[in-house]
Amino acid sequence: MSRFLRAGLIADRLNDIIEASSMLLGEIDPRDHKAGDLARDIAAIAADLKEFIARWECEPLIYTGRGTTDEVINLLDSLLSKARAAGRVGLRG
């Protein structure tokens, strides 16, 4: 059983936020400029984040095991370095 999950659910949830913000805009009184601006800001923030994530070559991963973020990053970096040195990894970077 892997301790890694694909983070595609993040993009899905961002789509949900964008959709909900759009629905909210349709329900807000047009004279309530503050509420309309907030709903547009929420949609824009979600869209910007979704676009930022889409630029990555690899889908983000979520690690569900033990250890701090720094410990996990150090472990992964160390394992990738050892695998590259042994000629076992074809990853770029």
**pTM higher than 0.85 for the full model?**
no
Domain ranges of the chain: 4-65
Average pLDDT over residues 27-42: 96
Q: How confident is the model at residue 84 (pLDDT cuts 50, 70, 90)?
A: confident
User: With 90 as the cut, is the pLDDT of residue 57 above it?
Assistant: no
Q: What are phi and psi of 61, to 5 degrees?
A: -115, 150
Confidence band of 78 (pLDDT split at 50, 70, 90): very high
